[in-house]
Amino acid sequence: RAPGLSIGYLEQQQGNSFTGTVRQAASEACSDIFRLEEELERISAAMAEAQGGELERISEKYSRMHEEFERRGGYGVNSRILGVLRGIGLTDEYFDRDTSVLSGGEKARLAIARLLLSGHDILLLDEPTNHLDLRAAQWLTDFLCSLKTTVLVVSHDRYLLDRLCGSIAEIYAGRMYSYKGNYTAFREKTQQQRRLQEKQYQEQQQEIKRQQEIIKQFRSFNREKSIRAAESREKALARMELVEAPETVKPMTLRFAPFVHTGSEVLALRNMTAQYPGKQLISPFSLTLLSASRVCIVGDNGCGKTTFLKTLMGQYSPDEGTFIFGENLFKGYFDQVQAGLDLNKTAIEEIWSHYPKMTQTQVRSALAAFLFKGDDVFKKISELSGGERARIALLNLMLGGYNLLLLDEPTNHLDIYMRESLTQALAAYTGTLLLVTHDRYLMQTLGCPIMYLEDGKATFYPSFAALQNRDAGKTQEQQKTEDTAKKQAYGKEQRKRRAEVRARLKKVESEIEELGAHIVELENEINDPEVLRDHLLLRDKCDELDDTRFHQQELYDEWEKLAEEQETFENEGE
């Protein structure tokens, strides 16, 4: 670790106890910049009273500190704080909210904001996108990619790893391996490497077995020549550089296969709303799902994604509109909090209760395919981790043979290998899929249409790429209207600023003239014989003259900047 290196660490589970408002807690990350600003103000006040060599010394110190203040972005620190808070999802209504009332997810966002504002040389981030919706995750990805800071990130967010990382360190079967390139390059390299190692290992084992058979045969001849030949081959075997057996982490075996095919139309929504009791979240919209189609539902936290799925499952009723399911339909629902699991049952009892016709051997084999082995099958659901519960819920879905899957954030608690297994299984699924997710890599892989929920409205995009570039998909008329509105707003701001500059110029010119007259007056007083004889009065007059000249020079500097700004306005007008 280099001396003086500053390292910032984001824990996966936040234990921070913030104080004050959200704005104040975020501003604490820039406290050294604010202290620098206060010191500059103090030195500036001292300069007004100093003179001679003392003034020169203080001026040099002020200049050095001012350069440091500018280098660290001191003048833009407040706008930077607000920009990071908004980007991470803590928008304006949060700024004056006390941190004690924030949820766990909101506190995690605040911790990320503070870390990004801290200016550390190295950032250590443990699952930074865990509590972020799509918009905030996209903003954070773009922000981290723009930083010149070194970032070491632990993440299951495959899209983040693809965009951000230039190398991947994988902990696999108890060892760490390092690879150049992003996540996609890492996957290709590891798969090739493990296939090659497996091939080399098998070929070498076959060769070793062949040589051992030959040695055995030579020894069976029991002749001096054949025994020497056997010993020679044994020495060659001993010198052979052995290829290590490839260590493997068995992936979760996952395959969704519908038992029954549906008709051509699976689901028809007509002017339907989605509402939480007492609050409408999505205004009326229509949607038709055909057999084997896929749709991803995306939007900010709290926009109504889960409520929409629960409405389709009959847990809520739409305030307006209707929805009708097609014939021969068997729905499978994945609840992101696994509320349907019985916490008092063991893993094997939970599966068996849904599929009583299966034998114990069949249930245990199914659980083994989902990485529950040995005594793990007798663990109570209440004792399982979030990832283990998710695997039980996915196994229930796989065994059900459903032809319509409604999945609410299925990758949330899965590690990266399990996410890969689920992604491949969903890509191969021949039924109809309605999927709520923030997993950008999964959306990208499926390549299906996106239903984006924003401001209470459902907007449809043909793909995840189209959603990312939705501004580019506006019609020329929409873009023209927006451009006109922006120009009008800009013009209004410019006219206001032009009037402010003109008024300030006039006032500065007047103040410069007044100070000039006062300087002449002071110079005449200093040359008065009576003042020259009174050294105390003379010192006061000289100090006043120095202050007046200093203030006049400040006004001259301001006048030059204002004059340049006014000239720019005039050129733009021409």
Q: How confident is the model at residue 297 (pLDDT cuts 50, 70, 90)?
A: very high
C-alpha of 540 from chain center? 61
Q: How confident is the model at residue 16 (pLDDT cuts 50, 70, 90)?
A: low
The answer on pLDDT for 25 being more than 60 is yes
Q: Determine what percent of the chain falls in helix, strand and coil, rounding each to the nearest 5.
A: 55, 15, 25
Q: Report in angstroms the alpha-carbon separations of 71 from 33, 290, 556.
A: 11, 58, 25
**Number of neighbouring beta carbons within 10 Å of residue 377:** 19
Report pLDDT digits (tens) over 509-550. Answer: 889 989 989 998 988 888 888 877 777 888 888 888 888 888
User: Whole-prediction pTM value?
Assistant: 0.72
The answer on pLDDT for 372 being more than 50 is yes
Q: Give the containing element (helix H, strand E) for 316.
A: none
Report pLDDT digits (tens) over 115-169. Answer: 999 989 999 999 999 888 888 999 999 999 999 899 999 999 999 999 999 999 9
Q: What is the pLDDT of residue 14?
A: 64
Report pLDDT digits (tens) over 463-491. Answer: 999 998 875 555 455 545 655 654 565 56
Q: Report in angstroms the alpha-carbon separations of 228 from 209, 211, 223, 240, 369.
A: 19, 14, 9, 19, 51
% of the chain exceeding 70 in pLDDT: 94
Q: Give the containing element (helix H, strand E) for 318.
A: none
CA distance 270 to 123: 49
Q: What is the pLDDT of residue 560?
A: 81
C-alpha of 89 from chain center? 11
CA distance 118 to 271: 48
Higher pLDDT, 433 or 103: 433
Average pLDDT, the chain: 88
Report pLDDT digits (tens) over 93-113. Answer: 999 999 988 887 888 899 999
% of the chain exceeding 90 in pLDDT: 53
The answer on pLDDT for 345 being more than 90 is yes
The answer on pLDDT for 248 being more than 80 is no
Report pLDDT digits (tens) over 376-420. Answer: 999 999 999 888 999 999 999 999 999 999 999 999 889 898 999
| Token pair in block for residue 87 | 């980007």
Q: What is the pLDDT of residue 4?
A: 87
Q: How confident is the model at residue 441 (pLDDT cuts 50, 70, 90)?
A: very high
| Token pair in block for residue 40 | 């500059």
Report pLDDT digits (tens) over 543-565. Answer: 888 888 888 888 887 888 888 77
User: If DSSP states are collapsed to H, E and C, what string results for 49-107?
Assistant: HCCHHHHHHHHHHHHHHHHHHHHCCHHHHHHHHHHHHHHCCCCHHHCCCEHHHCCHHHH
Q: How confident is the model at residue 180 (pLDDT cuts 50, 70, 90)?
A: very high
Q: What is the pLDDT of residue 481?
A: 60
